[in-house]
Structure 1
Amino acid sequence: MSEDPQSPIGPDFSQGVALADLAAAGKISGRVGEEEVLVVVCDEKIFAVGAHCTHYHAPLIDGLAEDGVLRCPWHHALFDLATGEALHAPAFAPLACWEIEREGDKVFVRKRLKSSARAPKVEPFETSLENIVIIGAGAAAFAAAEQLRRKGYGGKIVMVSDDADPPVDRPNLSKDYLAGNAPEEWLPLGTDEFDLEREVDLHLGARATQLDPDKRTVTLADGTTLAYDRLLLATGAEPIRLSIPGADLPHVRTLRSLMDCRAIIERLPTASRAVVLGASFIGLEVAASLRARGLDVHVVAPEKRPMERVLGPQIGDFVRSLHERHGVVFHLDDVATGVTERQVALRSGSVLDADLVVCGVGVRPRLTLAEAAGLVLDRGVVVDAFLETSAPGVFAAGDIARWPDPHSGKNIRVEHWNVAERQGQIAALNMLGARRVFTAVPFFWSQHYDVVINYVGHAEAWDEIEVDGDIASRDCLLTYKENGRVMAVASIFRDIDSLRAEIAMERMPA
């Protein structure tokens, strides 16, 4: 072919593309009129779908097509090639689909299918359900509500949250939005097919104070009592707050909600020096975003390497050097002992000037409601393979849920956005009676300047790290093993390898 198959414009599919070229490439990106289209060969069938992921607009030509589904290269969303349906978060909106026409040795794409032609099959569910209550308004809560409506549930959905704002794209808060590269109107979660505020009875700024699984009621702080047929606990986690002197000063902030992020941004015009407490994913993403805003940034953390506990020493050293090249100053093996209006004192005796202090020292699951209700807890809310708690009809998803992970063979709790959304989707199906086992492989991504680290799986411990490629050159795949078993894979600019690792873990016997 004379045209580059990875061109953002590519061939005009209405004029046809040679079957031989398509068979050789596997995927070709082109156009039909003004719309970008991806033609894909998968399982000896040919499909034509939208060329970009409906989540962050990733080019799907760089993704992986296998077993009738197309996987996004950036954040591992999953699409049904036949219908366009978004099967796995973080994408919710479907891909557009076009009809394939074959004439001789060419394939033509001319006709876009109507949305009704790709409506997802409605799951069989319990028709007696009238009231579903969701406690929380984060990733799991939104995903559950969207899935309930997508699968045809027409009863009442009540969402209760003590947040002031509806669900937002939380990963963006520490990344592009805080860095000033994304407007706030991009943040609310929703699609053209699902408007949360229209589909759900939202109780924002409301706190659930009592859950009675026997009576199937939830009581709010204002005395309102809500009855439910099924309930989803998605209370999430809250930032750990320091107890050092000065921790309650107005320029000392945490970052969890949109309100938190707004409060940090409001201080930026008068701030020039920031101290970030914690070298976690949130802490270092905040550091990168504040550097993008032109602030001097110092990072204080008790560990000897950033991110070593999760990603190991090799990635830890790389991440530190990356941030140092962008001007971040580290104070590792140290902690803050006090904060004043202009300074942060450290255990080592150092004193750092600071107009802004951001605490990113971790989060803890919000378990008060579940504990008072008598649910079984184990450093989280214990759920079964269907995400149901010890109380019949009460499900849990997201940061609070500890579930039996078939890939690691352990009961795990994971504080990742994609996991929360995918659990919300499965919990919704099971609240409707589908009895779907949660088998998704955990995945997260972390962005530092122009470097994105993808991580598949869950390794609480490992005894071996295999490194393929060169970390310093930003071209690597790290495999974390325990007793010879692959527990997790981290990668930098190895998107296809990351997707293949995910598939391998999905197929791995327990």
Structure 2
Amino acid sequence: MDTGIVIVGASLAGAKAAEALRAEGYRGPVTLVGDENERPYERPPLSKGYLLGKEEREKIYVHPADWYREHDVTLRLGTAVTAIDPAGHTVALEGGERLPFAKLLLATGSSPRLLPVPGGDGDFVQTLRRVGDSERLRAAFRPGARVVIVGAGWIGLEAAAAARTAGAEVTVLEAAELPLLRVLGREVAQVFADLHRAHGVDLRFGVRVEELRADGVRLGDGSTVPADVLLVGVGISPNTALAEQAGLTVDNGVRTDQHLATSHPDIYAAGDVANAFHPLFGKPIRVEHWANALNQPAVAAAAMLGKDAVYDRVPYFFTDQYDLGMEYTGYAEPGGYDRVVFRGDVAGREFIAFWLSGGKVLAGMNVNVWDVTDPIRELVRSGRAVDPERLADPAVPLTAI
């Protein structure tokens, strides 16, 4: 008897896995378990269109409400998985119920990090990860509100843009010298600093947060930044507790092979939680972006059904802030490149930036330049050295480099 496939984590990755299983022709039981009461939804709108009030709530969901019933997928919402028994092929739910599985997919995602300072876990501290978080912030972002954001990463900057668009006064506190410095490097990070300052954001770099309070933030120099709204966006941590309890190999996420199989042959992982071996880069990488949660589940589903599926897509993510739209394709680790090449008008924020190592393109980021993702992806995937001068010349088509 087929005991079926259980998917732990009812967000984008979990929902797409259920969809892929049915698309692959699997007719056995599929159970999707999530601790939120919302049916699976996508997270990018929570810091972009939905936060800005430009998208209706229905737009965030992965599937229509009746899709799960129509595709015979059992959706268990508001239910936490408390343990996995790999030997017994069961998962334990809160309340004591056990679900059997033939194969198990971990799509447990990640959780916002909190600051390890006094007040860091106060109920006045807001994070942005779930739909309720986005709705609370949207209601709080109003003209004249003093919004303080700790962390100048993608979430912090997108939230800053939404708050400024709503007319709030925004201060962003960042320990590094520039926003997104670790991700983009100094050359490109400056673009985002200039963007937010041009829109009236008070950016403060090199600051040390000593304490979070209901009325503001105390800094290392003894000064206080008053706040009506306090948002902490200092990154996320993969939700690996279940994997650790089950004895799976965990190292910056749940380690998987290129088929997204974990150290147990019947357990797979996808999305934020998966630190997956990538054939193109020859090592495991964990990418905390929407595209992985969207695309990895199809490979995991096929692999669980015995097919030789490999996840080798080039990483991709995007952002929208004010009038700046950006797509990033590739994978350039901090300190892993030796040159940045620009093509186009950097000052006018209409350009492409390329990160190179040994003449090879590791990644490309197009800012307000569209329909170039495919050729950038091919440059990254090719692994061949390019001529930097031709790469920088807008008159030379990317497909001709």
Relative to the length of structure 1, the TM-score reads 0.71
Instruction: Spell out the pairing of 1:360-371 with structure 2 (5 A cutoff).
Output: 360-371=233-244
Larger-Rg structure: 1
Instruction: Tell me if the contact between 1:458 and 1:488 (Cα under 8 Å) persists in the aligned partners.
Output: yes
**Deviation of 1:299 (Å):** 0.2
One-letter identity of the residue aligned with 1:432: L
**Deviation of 1:198 (Å):** 4.4
**Deviation of 1:197 (Å):** 5.4
Give CA-to-partner distance per residue, 1:329-367, whole Å, 9 cap, x none: 011111321222222111133321110001100001111
For 1:493, the equivalent position in structure 2 comes to 368
1:475 alignment partner, one of 341, 350, 355? 350
Q: SS at the partner of 1:179?
A: coil
Instruction: Spell out the pairing of 1:275-294 with structure 2 (5 A cutoff).
Output: 275-294=148-167
For 1:317, the equivalent position in structure 2 comes to 190
**Deviation of 1:494 (Å):** 2.7
**Deviation of 1:465 (Å):** 1.2
Instruction: Tell me if the contact between 1:407 and 1:505 (Cα under 8 Å) persists in the aligned partners.
Output: no
One-letter identity of the residue aligned with 1:401: A
2:85 alignment partner, one of 198, 205, 212? 212
Instruction: Tell me if the contact between 2:106 and 2:268 (Cα under 8 Å) persists in the aligned partners.
Output: yes
Please identify, of 478-487 and 291-300, the stretch whose mean Cα deviation from structure 2 is larger: 478-487
**Deviation of 1:271 (Å):** 7.1
**Deviation of 1:321 (Å):** 0.9
1:503 alignment partner, one of 378, 383, 399? 378
Give CA-to-partner distance per residue, 1:23-70, whole Å, 9 cap, x none: xxxxxxxxxxxxxxxxxxxxxxxxxxxxxxxxxxxxxxxxxxxxxxxx
For 2:282, the equivalent position in structure 1 comes to 409
For residues 220 and 356 of structure 2, the distance between their equivalents in structure 1, rounded to whole angstroms, comes to: 36
For 2:359, the equivalent position in structure 1 comes to 484
Instruction: Tell me if the contact between 1:479 and 1:489 (Cα under 8 Å) persists in the aligned partners.
Output: yes
For 2:113, the equivalent position in structure 1 comes to 240
**Deviation of 1:269 (Å):** 5.7
**Deviation of 1:223 (Å):** 0.5
1:189 alignment partner, one of 23, 46, 62? 62
For 2:398, the equivalent position in structure 1 comes to none
Instruction: Spell out the pairing of 1:368-447 with structure 2 (5 A cutoff).
Output: 368-447=241-320
2:168 alignment partner, one of 275, 295, 313? 295
Higher relative contact order (CA 8 A, sep 6+): 2
Residues 1:197 and 1:297: Cα distance change in structure 2 (over 3 Å): farther
2:33 alignment partner, one of 152, 160, 170? 160
For residues 308 and 197 of structure 1, the distance between their equivalents in structure 2, rounded to whole angstroms, comes to: 45
For residues 97 and 104 of structure 2, the distance between their equivalents in structure 1, rounded to whole angstroms, comes to: 16
Q: SS at the partner of 1:153?
A: coil
For residues 196 and 357 of structure 1, the distance between their equivalents in structure 2, rounded to whole angstroms, comes to: 37
Instruction: Tell me if the contact between 1:477 and 1:497 (Cα under 8 Å) persists in the aligned partners.
Output: no
Instruction: Tell me if the contact between 2:3 and 2:100 (Cα under 8 Å) persists in the aligned partners.
Output: no
Instruction: Spell out the pairing of 1:63-82 with structure 2 (5 A cutoff).
Output: none
Structure 2 residues without counterparts, runs of 5 or longer: 385-401
**Deviation of 1:457 (Å):** 1.0
For 2:215, the equivalent position in structure 1 comes to 342
Instruction: Tell me if the contact between 1:403 and 1:411 (Cα under 8 Å) persists in the aligned partners.
Output: yes
For residues 393 and 283 of structure 1, the distance between their equivalents in structure 2, rounded to whole angstroms, comes to: 38
Instruction: Tell me if the contact between 2:152 and 2:233 (Cα under 8 Å) persists in the aligned partners.
Output: yes
Give CA-to-partner distance per residue, 1:410-452, whole Å, 9 cap, x none: 2211101111211111111111221211111110001111211
2:129 alignment partner, one of 256, 274, 280? 256
Instruction: Tell me if the contact between 1:251 and 1:355 (Cα under 8 Å) persists in the aligned partners.
Output: no
Instruction: Tell me if the contact between 2:111 and 2:129 (Cα under 8 Å) persists in the aligned partners.
Output: yes
Residues 1:484 and 1:508: Cα distance change in structure 2 (over 3 Å): closer
For residues 255 and 369 of structure 1, the distance between their equivalents in structure 2, rounded to whole angstroms, comes to: 23
For residues 271 and 424 of structure 1, the distance between their equivalents in structure 2, rounded to whole angstroms, comes to: 43
Aligned residues: 381
One-letter identity of the residue aligned with 2:74: D
For residues 197 and 268 of structure 1, the distance between their equivalents in structure 2, rounded to whole angstroms, comes to: 37
Instruction: Tell me if the contact between 1:139 and 1:424 (Cα under 8 Å) persists in the aligned partners.
Output: no
Relative to the length of structure 2, the TM-score reads 0.90
For 2:228, the equivalent position in structure 1 comes to 355
Q: Provide the alpha-carbon RMSD of the alignment.
A: 1.9
Structure 1 residues without counterparts, runs of 5 or longer: 1-127
Identity level (%):
37
**Deviation of 1:143 (Å):** 1.2
